[in-house]
Structure 1
């Protein structure tokens, strides 16, 4: 997306001529599959199902726009890592100490609450598949512990292969369901026209769908996975961009397929499902009544793959970010940090493993009691604030002298990042406004 022609490279910065451009090839695809699998969780599929059940195919265009917005964000994160040889944390730290404080609070609070949510989401389809084996809480703990062990003992290469297999399962299940419900293709094509439903709050619902298509902290983790893959200079820029586009094309297929299911199975029958992960359990029951137990079980396997990829993806990607965050606080470690990226040592570092433990064990407490009310509100606000923070800081970094001139933003990148920042800011304000603050104090 960047304007990469006609600009000299700044002194002391490696230029694209010093890093021969590798030809883009499908055999290199990897980090994009990881970010797509991690970013699309059960909540995204439910939101798309509800959009289909409420508005039919009307908001199909919004789901596609959501994918384009995320392409611009992930591409910007990857371009920063490859063009500067520095991590996103280096960039954030150059903007002021406030970024460090924001991430420190975010990582602690968000990780604590998200850990419990991810474990519960992965447990739901397992309990539905094996209802007599054990309680939901113990399934959740088992998911968290297996995710911990898997990420603890495996490096990126194995992690990527497992994620690719699980994405394959997600792909087969969602495409099968979309075909099974026999979508109305003329109505679907009409849904590509950017129109809004006539219902109340249709603008906010539309913005929520656009912003919710695979939009999480894993967009920021993409640059770290790019480095973990061994892509560390501008010679990999074309490969990274192909990888990123494949990622969100895959995401687009997931969400469009689920919108088809919502439009055909729920909207036409005027059936409503609950928001949140339990909405997918309801869909499983509807599928069983309509198409039989085999289809329902196949769907639940896909539901598990969707939730579990988000779990292990966050366990790996955000732990990488936290390890870099801790390393950034220790002065004089620039060279060591570069060697960590190249050798994969960051995945064996104590901060990486400490955050893995934080994501796994403290959240187990929340599985046995109601989530602390104030903590959940803070979690919601921080989560809503992260994506406007990411879009705004990338816009700042990639238009400044911190980025080599040849790889700074062009008009298209600036437009997409500005639109993303505005979109997420509106959604952030809405999230903050909707919180029950009167009960907080």
Structure 2
């Protein structure tokens, strides 16, 4: 079974980062178990979209941008789409990388509490990630991620068990949808941190690194469902844990850990810190990696992860994260641009995915079924709504 686990683990690790941990914490603290259904919906949506991206990568043996560029025959449409993709992924991932490195730093700070080390921690995390990416190939990264996701999953699930949650309350929150007052933006944020546009590009590129035959389609589907399902379980465990935390104000995931310590002991705090460190490192690796794969596809670079230009792209994204964090730079305008670009990118990519996986000339007998299209159309509609909300929020209309 574990031999079939691969790219999906990196996708799961990418969306269960510091941002997701913080949003799940906020949802749990403010609304208890009431919004677990929103996480369940977002996990299903992620499995459907990532399943399409993985299938495209396997059948075509190309990255997502390569396929889009080939299939979009109108030059101006092709150029606009590629410009949106490049802008959203390269600039967006560079802006958000500070949050990923910051999450790992927060976790490491609790494990190494010496005050004199604190200013050096972002650089230490940055060097660790740089070395992992520079000297690793896909197979090595896959093994590292299986280990890190395992640590992260065990840490957060143990935290949830320690809080002795209500099973009936969890089931009600999962299968009886309700929208508490002021809960809409939290629902949108939970979906937005789980259905991540850059993961679509990362997944398609990594699938062709691991598998090269259409007969491996079952393995790709298994990997996607199991890995993302486990990632979703981690997100739900964080929300459940947060619902037991007696706090009203949340700035980051460690606020929950500190609130849990008096009630559930030092072990709860320790497991939260370890989980946050693992989540930060995994997201801080996948964001630069996805940016490099997108740039490689857009510009047609050969050689995969060993290409020097590929390495330069992920190194710049990583450097931006470390610099923003080390010098306490708050790139608000850059992040706002990234939010707008990602708000446009998600529905655009969802539509393009749906279009490509229904083209017999591209997918052959592996094109979408009627049921897959029904799920896909529902997700596209929701992606448009989600994207519009994020854009309006940035420009101040909502």
| TM-score, length of structure 2 as denominator length | 0.91
Q: Secondary structure at the match of 1:48?
A: helix
Q: Give the Å deviation of 1:255.
A: 1.5
For residues 41-440 of structure 1, the aligned pairs below 5 Å read 41-93=17-69, 94-95=71-72, 96-134=78-116, 136-200=118-182, 202-213=183-194, 215-229=196-210, 231-263=211-243, 265-266=244-245, 269=246, 271-274=247-250, 278-327=251-300, 337=302, 345-367=303-325, 368-436=327-395
Q: Say what the alpha-carbon RMSD is for the aligned residues.
A: 2.1
- The CA deviation string for residues 125-175 of structure 1, in whole angstroms up to 9 with x for no partner, is 212332324465531122122211111111111111111111111111111
CA distance in 2 between partners of 1:146 and 1:101 (Å) = 31
Shift in CA distance, 364/243, structure 1 to aligned 2, threshold 3 Å: closer
Could you give the per-residue CA deviations for residues 309-344 of structure 1, whole angstroms, max 9, x where no partner exists? 11112233332332222216xxxxxxxx5xxxxxxx
Does the 8 Å CA contact 1:124/1:136 hold for their aligned counterparts?
A: no
Q: Is the alpha carbon distance of 1:253 and 1:111 closer, same or farther for their aligned partners in structure 2, counting shifts above 3 Å?
A: closer
Larger mean CA deviation between 159-168 and 203-212 belongs to 203-212
Per-residue CA deviations over 1:160-198 (Å, capped at 9, x if unaligned) read 111111111111111111110011111112223342234
What is the CA–CA distance in structure 1 between the aligned matches of 2:131 and 2:242, rounded to whole Å? Answer: 36
Aligned-partner Cα distance in 2 for 1:144–1:427: 32
Stretch deviating more after TM superposition (114-123 or 390-399)? 114-123
Tell whether the 8 Å contact from 1:122 to 1:308 is kept in structure 2 after alignment. Answer: yes
For structure 2, the residue ranges without an aligned partner over 5 or more in a row are 73-77
1:273/1:279 contact within 8 Å kept: no
Give the whole-Å Cα distance in 1 for the aligned partners of 2:259 and 2:196.
28
Which protein has the bigger helix share? Answer: 2
Q: Distance in 2 between matches of 1:250 and 1:243?
A: 11
Cα–Cα, structure 1 residues 404 and 347, in superposed 2: closer, same or farther, change >3 Å?
same
> What is the rounded CA distance, in whole Å, between the counterparts of 1:102 and 1:134 in structure 2?
43
Deviation at 1:211, TM superposition (A): 3.6
TM, length-normalised to structure 1:
0.83
CA distance in 1, matches of 2:304, 2:376: 29
1:404 aligned counterpart, secondary structure: helix
The corresponding residue for 1:22 is none
Q: Aligned partners of 2:385 and 2:312: how far apart in 1?
A: 34
How far apart are 1:430 and its partner, in Å?
1.4
Does the 8 Å CA contact 1:48/1:259 hold for their aligned counterparts? Answer: yes
Contact 1:116–1:363 (8 Å) recurs in 2: yes
- Aligned with 1:309: secondary structure? helix
Distance, in Å, in 2 between the alignment partners of 1:353 and 1:203 is 40
For residues 207-233 of structure 1, what are the alpha-carbon distances to aligned partners after superposition, in whole Å with 9 as ceiling and x for unaligned? 43234335341232111111111x122
